Amino acid sequence: MEYKYDDGGRDDYFETKYKKDRTNDCVIRAIAIATGRDYLTIWKELFSLSTKMGFMPNDQKCYEEYLELLGWVKNKPLRKINGKKYQVKKLPINKNKSYIFQTTRHLTAIIDGEHRDIWDCGNWCANSYYTKG
């Protein structure tokens, strides 16, 4: 699977000159990339929901609720015949769909068979994932 740098639109609103400026927003970024929605809109909606729920926007309880509101469905990890999980870059996915995959403490987007994020986490284990329901 090809990897392509994509900040999800963060650079349109916030300084991203240094690596330290491009961290801690993987939830917002992955959702923006996978849905094609505006980064700042997602930022505001997630923060609003997090205030109501009492969790941080990047808490799994919060972003799962948000994705559900957008019509996305959580799926169990894809597994090989031997029961092991796939690496992100080796996922057997539909190349015409959008996905948001959980890795360890990170969310990343796959659009039309292309892994898009600010860094290549393709070697990481792909855990649960979300698809448009």
Measured distance between the N- and C-terminal CA atoms of the chain, rounded to whole angstroms: 23
Residues 17-70 pLDDT 10s: 776 666 789 999 999 999 999 999 999 999 999 999 999 999 999 999 999 999
More confident residue, 22 or 121: 121
Q: What pLDDT shows up at residue 20?
A: 65
* 8 has pLDDT over 70: yes
- Dist. CA 129–CA 99, nearest whole Å: 7
Beta strands in the chain (DSSP E): 2-5, 72-75, 98-103, 106-111, 114-117, 129-132
Q: What pLDDT shows up at residue 52?
A: 97
- Dist. CA 50–CA 89, nearest whole Å: 31
- Dist. CA 28–CA 30, nearest whole Å: 6
Global pTM value: 0.94
Q: What pLDDT shows up at residue 62?
A: 97
Contact 43, 28 (CB under 8 A): yes
Q: What pLDDT shows up at residue 17?
A: 73
Q: What pLDDT shows up at residue 13?
A: 92
